[in-house]
Amino acid sequence: MTPDIYNDKRFGVNKKNISINALNVISKLQKSGFQAFIVGGGIRDLIKGLHPKDFDIVTNCEPEEIRKIFKNSRIIGRRFKLVHIAFSDEIIETTTFRSGKDEDADSIEVNDKGRILRDNKWGTQEEDVFRRDLTINSIYYDPISSEVIDYTGGIKDLKDKKISFIGKAGDRILEDPVRIIRAIRFAAKLNFKIDTEITKAIEIHRQHLLDMPPARLYEEVIKLFLSGHAENSYLLLKKHGVFNVLFPHLQNSYDEYEDFYIEAFRETDKRYISGKTLNVGFLYAILLWPKVAVESDIANHINFKKFYRTIASVMRKQQMITSVPRKFTSFIKDVWMNQIRFSRIGKKSISFTQSLRFRAAYDFLLIRKSIEPKLSQSVNWWTEFKTANYDKKIRLLNTRKKNRNAKR
């Protein structure tokens, strides 16, 4: 195919927003006699006037040769072999043009469902573009010649604010079901509309996500919810029936927790925008809470045995879908179990406010209040108690005890 080629001035690309390390990698590859381009999110965001957070480079230089040119690099991956070039402040990911045409080649492995298990057959730029998934991520940019190269109408889709696959949506999803999540993630991030062909294919093939390695789905969940567009991601996942595939604990009964999720994800997005730390454990505590809350009836009268049994069951089931690293599982359980302590007020409440997990548990309680109005009084008391000095804490506890005795 003959691509559309534009000068970067047409889009107002500001080269000052390009990583100096990425520019140096491209320059060195080109001086070594190879082609090299920025591809994907880097050029997409530059065209949209955004500041890209990273820059992926694609070249006709093969991994072993890249490794020779850049001593500060290493080859990683089996499914898709690529090179990480390490600098003091960032890693530049560099891949080789792929062909992917000859499924009988030793470098390509496709299973009986059409899923690509390995794709390391090198090709040309024209072949490489059709191994990519989304049109808006298949635009190439040579910052040395200032050329923007578009084979698939990605520029038009950027203008029309549309998410489209390259090729037939159903086939591309079967090759790699994670493309379902990628389509939703970019639609959420960019506020784009998902093409009708993709929405139909998602409805047919979304269950294939469960065939994916749990570790890979875990990484995609993190990108969905901890990149500043958690609320949009949730709404789109729910709209396309994917949320219940990734988190199937209550089937279609999440509606009663709609406000809970919206409140939580809005706060998550606010924290991201303000540059505050986001905790993976807290995210999963939010995502998995409905099942724990409903089964244990924590809003009314908690059955402790059932509470702990449900926690174990929910975590075990989720690990089979999106594996959660062990370092976060204890945090998740602590946040949940500490919810009980907010209703069991006594002298130990003082040490509770000084514990490492108190702040996370308290923030979680605030989110619960969005759908549990009965918690308002408790939230108000704990809000005053947590900031009080020791003497005032004692007075608050004594007043609470007197009020409780008076009611008896």
Q: List, by residue number, the catalytic residues.
A: 54, 56, 133
Tokens in use for 18? 């390009």
Separation of alpha carbons 333 and 56, rounded Å:
37
- DSSP states along 256-304: GGHHHHHHHHHHHHHHHHTT----HHHHHHHHHHHHHHHHHTTTT---H
CA gap 214, 210 in Å, rounded:
8
- CA torsion sign, 255 to 258 to 261 to 266? positive
From residue 179, alpha-carbon distances to 137, 164, 246, 287, 394 in Å are 12, 11, 14, 21, 56
- List strands edge to edge, sheet with 56-59: 4-7, 147-150, 139-142, 36-39, 56-59, 91-96, 82-86, 73-76
Q: Tell me, what DSSP letter sits at residue 3?
A: P
| Separation of alpha carbons 404 and 408, rounded Å | 7
DSSP per-residue letters across 204-259:
HHGGGGGGS-HHHHHHHHHHHHSSS-HHHHHHHHHHTT-HHHHSTTSTT-GGGGHH
Query: 399 is written with which tokens?
Result: 């007043």
